[in-house]
Structure 1
Amino acid sequence: MSQSKNGKNHIPFRLNVLFFAIFLLFSTLILRLGYIQIVQGDDFERDLEQTASEVTRVDAPRGLMYDRNGELLVDNKLTLSLTYTNKRDVSEEERVDIASKLATIIEVDKDELEKIPERNKKDFWLTTHPEEAKELITEADEEQAEDEDELYDLQLARITDEHLRDLNDELKTVYIWGEMISGYYNAPQRIKKGLTREEAHTISERLDKMPGVDILRDADRQYLYEDAFPRFFGQTGAIPRENLQEYLAKGYNRSDEVGTSFLEEYYESTLRGKKAEISSEEENTGEETNGSRGNDLVLTIDIDLQQDVESIIDQVVGGNTGSFINDPEAYAVVIEPDTGDILAVSGYSDHLGTVSSSFEMGSTVKAATVLVGLETGVVTPGTYIYDAPINLPYTPEISSVVNLGNVNYLTALERSSNVYMAHIAMRLAGYHYGSSQTWNTEKYHEAYEIMRYYYSQFGLGVKTGVDLPSESTGINGGKANPGNLLYLSFGQFDTYTPMQLAQYIATIANDGYRMQPRLVKEIHEPNTNKDAMGPVKKQFMPNVLNRIEIDPQYIDMVQQGLWRVTNGSRGTARSYFADTEYTSAGKTGTAQIKIRQESTNHLIDGNNQAFVGYAPYENPEVAVAVIVPGVYKSGQSGMANTIAKRALDAYFDLKEKRPGKEEETRLGQN
């Protein structure tokens, strides 16, 4: 190479061009790498996660339910479900194609087709009729619209019933398509639960032609004693729309099934299983992270007693259906006084009324009224009141079944004196019957409050606390006039539920402790062997809601009055309990009502028959409350008494047949 005059080497021009080009290439490469890392890094990382570590969560079976003696009541039955996992990069045409293919394979209930939301139909029509959809938008619309969403809303609004009639032959496809797109991306959405063997086989053969479609093992709830305990087990199903956001916030998927009523709903978090997780890599190897069944519930129910009570009600009421003004009704609750355990809860044709329906319970509430009178001092153990009709202005005559003459608290309970109770109410209001005195509004309003205050301590007119999603508290009739105060005192004004009535008599039976009624006593960890329960995870101890503010000696005295009802020479229930091997106590009730007859729309005079009681009298183990409402005055009498007596018989018969198991149960609670 030659040298210049100043001694420096000359670099050829072409070599300079080459260096410059290399510099430009490296600069471009560095800029591109920076753009990918900084600008598009998050997108690529998200795509990588979706393709390399995408997780599918598979539902796990729900927990089981057992009765108090370990009898399996609610099980799971293996079934297969069709699912679809939606992806962001799937075209609408592909989804419609898959829905069309599935529509030729699976059956869909007609009810589901009838419930397809109109919005789904419109969305499907727009997807499958793109050219016609364009015609729904004018050039003016495109100029005025702020964005594509506004144009889409215009298209939806302009779809007519005539347009949607084009879909009548494709409703199954519309339904399936709607289910496919209703879930989140990359989460399996349940399309159909309970595939038939033929459906599952056909789908399996065509999975390679339907990306995103899969068949997963699932579980159907199996209620083994549905006829004996039909409503309170509850049901499972899709997440209710009004609760969707709440469940999503708790980590549920939109397609998950949850408890939708009663025990299934109340104990949802306990019964819910832990989902199995299958990642995208694991799907290729067949490996998965095992889920687990939900925790199991041990109910307080004795299913044998429950079946007996069901049968008793069916026999007594079913044999006298002509005695009812409208459809026959009857409800019974059998409860353990010391713990609040519900041993049986039943209704003729419907169990729900035991917590949701309320009735005037008649003379069954008189024990509470006597206790109010004794505690407030308006009557004493030595007080005698002459039982004769009471006539007040603007109030129908108040009397007992017959004029009873002089009665004290014992004979008032034994023979069921309405007049004795009415005098307690008048004395609470400071009113002296037979004088020229007028009613003091402030005083009789105060008397209403005093009576309801004490009643509420027994559970009458307030929530019992039973472990169910909702219960009625009955109807408070207000305090409009003094005459109704007297009717309140003997159970013919305010209304109460059968569950409240059971809590009330149980409170008297256990010497004044209002126990919270419960249907679940224990939670157990799941066991692979269904015949043996797993370890106890949680045990619910009996819960005392309150101790009634009444002198214990008065409770003892009223208990004696209730003993006389079933054992006294003139007890109103003596004839029903005279031949029992156990000693009982109780109170009959008949509320005179007017009820509208549905077939004629006329008001008819009728009765609500009721009974509350417990046994053995000396050491109560069981209490019962029965209400048979809406009976003709000329209808069969004593139905509530008969049901209650036979229910107590059934309890003691079962106890005799399995003394060891019953003793173990009671020892375990101490």
Structure 2
Amino acid sequence: MGQHDQNKRKLHKKNEEKIEKSGYDDNQPKRRAPIWGPFLSRLNVMMIAIFVLFAVLILRLGYLQLVQGDMFSDLVNATETTIVEESVPRGLIIDANGVVMVDNEPLQAISYTRGQQVSGEDMVATANALAGYIAVSIEDVSERDLQDYFVAANTDLINDRLTEEELAASDDEIYSIQLSKVTDEDISGLNNQQKEAAVIFSKMNAASALSTVFIKNEEVTTEETAVVAEHAQELPGVNVTMDWQRTYPLDSLLRSLLGGVTSTEEGIPSDLQSYYLAKGYALNDRVGTSYLELEYEDLLRGSKTTYETEVSQDGDILRTEQTYEGEMGNTIQLSIDSEYQAELEQYATQYLEAATDEANNQIYIVASDPQTGEVYALVGKRKTDDGEIIDDALGTINSSFISGSVVKGATIATGYATGLLEVGSDNVKTDEPLYFSGTPVKGSWWFTSNNDSAPRELTDKQALALSSNIYMIKIAMALGGINYYEPNMDLAGLDTDAIYQQIRSHFAEFGLGVSTGIDLENESTGINGGKTDQPGNALDLAFGQFDTYTPIQLNQYISTMANGGTRYAMHVLDKVLAPAEDTTEGAVVYEYEPTVLNHVSLTDEELQEVREGIWSVVNTSEGLGYSIFSGFPIEVAGKSGTATIDDVYENSTWAGWAPYDDPEIAVSIVIPNTKAGVATSAQAIAPAVLGLYYNIDEYQQALED
């Protein structure tokens, strides 16, 4: 091969390499590349990307529709299930023998359950419709109720009256502004049916979401329930249901002690909302407000009926189904014997009707089981200024009085507890008028300035039988460090603090001056007269002329004396029974067990000495109660008292028990403001109080006559 051919071959090969690298052939005519080439290339890439995205989107939509379509359809149509509660009747209150004292009367009612997203306009429409079917009282409709109704019924009209600045106010402020735009003419222009609708609207508006309120629960007629049921479709949330109200089959018997219950309008007390809401109450639930209804609220309230309520996404109630029937509250059985209570109330009423002095206008009687503290009767009657005799049973626990000599048994017990008196000794002290420097003369009830009361030697039992003041004063003097007496002696050295401390401490062991533990609120512990600068006051304390005590404290005192020295808490609750058609046959949920508060600090022998002294008041010829109980068929022990109030009036008291050896009943009686020779004493009526308990014919007949 020649050089020329080799050069040609090299050139050709070089050209092929150039074409391979650049894409241009030097042997071909050269053309200029188009300027839109790069743009078309990018456009192609973009089109491909868009196609891919659309493909992904189509696939995703297809997946959502075909695979998950049912799920999303369910979400669109989803509902919420909520539990709604409805109150049930409260438990009954029955007496010791199963007699119903507090019951429930069933009532037809119209209720409203508010949906979750119900507007004011919606409720106004329902209220307007309902007002055409039922009658409600407009007597107590408030101006605010009418304003609320007018704003909800005429929102556009009211908003037209607002300035742009007012319309821009916060949600909290704008409603107050809207209310201020309601004129007197707007209100006066409402007819009676619209006012009824306003009353209905106010009750609906008070309900929170998915809570139920009563629109009308008194005097609902059969026609009203029928027409409301017939038009249920146009009355969303409105139902025909049942309600109840407390009734008192025994009328006013112990009415104040049984206590009260709020209405649905009152609901739970505002000052206790946090407490009750935390316990699952609704704002419009009825609760006990006083005494037994309040004391045993947890037992009486019952278990609410529950409903499963299905609510749509729009807040409409679609379905309501009862899931728990609920159960009325437990039955509370009291220790009170309503028949005995009624007889004593009648007797007390007759006493006040016969009273001729207007100041003699109260009487209190307490009867109990001294072995357990169970209260059989709490009787209080009071005559008002216009002559009406009203129940004041609560006065037995929250009114206190200077009680006089009835407490002398506790003073003798104090003497034994402090070693001033001894078993086996005659414990003789001289009863004589006591003249102290700077202090009025002290004497027993038989003292008169005319005969100057000759001294008498008395044992402790005689001192109780004759009700000696001086014997008690000399015990107090010994407690204060003075063991002798000289006429006109100075009491400056008397340790009155020791007297107050010792007497009040030992009196408290019997229940005087302290809480009796009774299961009722607002019990008074009496009035402690304090420690005065007058030594005579410390001496007066020893025979019941300084501190004051309640009738139930006197009862606990004599019960402790009767049973051998054990102070039991007083109580009116006996049992708690599960609800049952027969009120006495419910299962026993709880049974009260006697509660021991303390034992007195005396030996059995020392306390027996005191008990025999109280027995001697009634059962020995020198005893001041001997003639009163002469011929009474049951052996009684008891002590009377007379406490001077002023120059004219005194309090008359008595406390005792029967039978003496095996006590079944303890009684205390307080008659304030009696006048000697005019009013019958507490001791004089004690046989009747005991006779009615034992069904002794002569006392039953006297009561009937």
TM interval, shorter chain, is 0.7 to 0.9
Residue 442 of structure 2 aligns with an amino acid whose one-letter code is I
Structure 2 unaligned regions, length at least 5: 1-22, 24-40, 66-71, 311-316, 382-390, 448-452, 698-705
2:426 to 376, 379, 382: 382
In 2, the alpha carbon distance for the partners of 1:444 and 1:160 equals 74
In 1, the alpha carbon distance for the partners of 2:186 and 2:430 equals 81
What is aligned with 1:342?
375
2:255 to 230, 234, 238: 230
Tell me which moved more, 130-139 or 261-270.
130-139
1:450 matches 2:502: yes
In 1, the alpha carbon distance for the partners of 2:173 and 2:258 equals 47
Deviation, 1:583, is: 0.3
What is aligned with 2:700?
none
2:211 to 187, 194, 203: 187
In 1, the alpha carbon distance for the partners of 2:402 and 2:181 equals 56
Residue 171 of structure 2 aligns with an amino acid whose one-letter code is E
Deviation, 1:168, is: 11
1:200 matches 2:234: no
1:611 to 637, 654, 660: 654
In 2, the alpha carbon distance for the partners of 1:441 and 1:203 equals 86
What secondary structure is seen at the aligned counterpart in 2 of 1:577? coil
Q: Residues 93 and 553 from structure 1, CA distance in 2 versus in 1: closer, same or farther, beyond 3 angstroms?
A: same
Deviation, 1:134, is: 5.5
Q: Residues 568 and 86 from structure 1, CA distance in 2 versus in 1: closer, same or farther, beyond 3 angstroms?
A: same
2:473/2:540 contact within 8 Å kept:
yes
1:293 matches 2:293: no
In 2, the alpha carbon distance for the partners of 1:424 and 1:373 equals 6
In 2, the alpha carbon distance for the partners of 1:162 and 1:397 equals 80
Tell me which moved more, 555-564 or 233-242.
233-242
Deviation, 1:562, is: 1.0
What secondary structure is seen at the aligned counterpart in 1 of 2:306? strand
Deviation, 1:156, is: 6.7
Structure 1 unaligned regions, length at least 5: 33-39, 595-603, 656-670
In 2, the alpha carbon distance for the partners of 1:121 and 1:422 equals 72
In 1, the alpha carbon distance for the partners of 2:188 and 2:623 equals 72
Deviations 1:375-403 (A, max 9, x none): 21334553333333334455444322213
Residue 286 of structure 2 aligns with an amino acid whose one-letter code is E
What is aligned with 1:308?
343
Could you tell me the TM-score, scaled by structure 1's length?
A: 0.82
Aligned length: 617
Matches within 5 A, 1:333-412: 333-348=366-381, 349-380=391-422, 381-392=425-436, 395-403=439-447, 405-406=455-456, 407-412=458-463
1:85/1:187 contact within 8 Å kept:
yes
Deviation, 1:458, is: 1.2
1:260 to 278, 284, 289: 289
In 2, the alpha carbon distance for the partners of 1:109 and 1:489 equals 63
What secondary structure is seen at the aligned counterpart in 2 of 1:626? strand
1:218 to 243, 251, 257: 243
> RMSD across aligned C-alpha pairs, in angstroms?
3.8
1:646 matches 2:697: no
1:417 matches 2:468: yes
Q: Residues 163 and 318 from structure 1, CA distance in 2 versus in 1: closer, same or farther, beyond 3 angstroms?
A: farther
1:628 to 634, 651, 671: 671
In 2, the alpha carbon distance for the partners of 1:391 and 1:168 equals 84
1:332/1:345 contact within 8 Å kept:
yes
Deviation, 1:131, is: 6.9
1:312/1:643 contact within 8 Å kept:
no
In 1, the alpha carbon distance for the partners of 2:362 and 2:138 equals 33
Q: Residues 277 and 88 from structure 1, CA distance in 2 versus in 1: closer, same or farther, beyond 3 angstroms?
A: closer
In 1, the alpha carbon distance for the partners of 2:427 and 2:183 equals 80
1:334/1:343 contact within 8 Å kept:
yes
Tell me which moved more, 451-460 or 165-174.
165-174
Q: Residues 285 and 436 from structure 1, CA distance in 2 versus in 1: closer, same or farther, beyond 3 angstroms?
A: closer
Q: Residues 244 and 441 from structure 1, CA distance in 2 versus in 1: closer, same or farther, beyond 3 angstroms?
A: farther
Residue 650 of structure 1 aligns with an amino acid whose one-letter code is L
Residue 323 of structure 1 aligns with an amino acid whose one-letter code is D
Tell me which moved more, 16-25 or 416-425.
16-25
Deviations 1:68-104 (A, max 9, x none): 2333333332222332212232121232343455556
What secondary structure is seen at the aligned counterpart in 2 of 1:186? coil
In 1, the alpha carbon distance for the partners of 2:131 and 2:515 equals 49
1:359/1:495 contact within 8 Å kept:
yes
What is aligned with 2:359?
325
1:239 to 249, 265, 268: 268
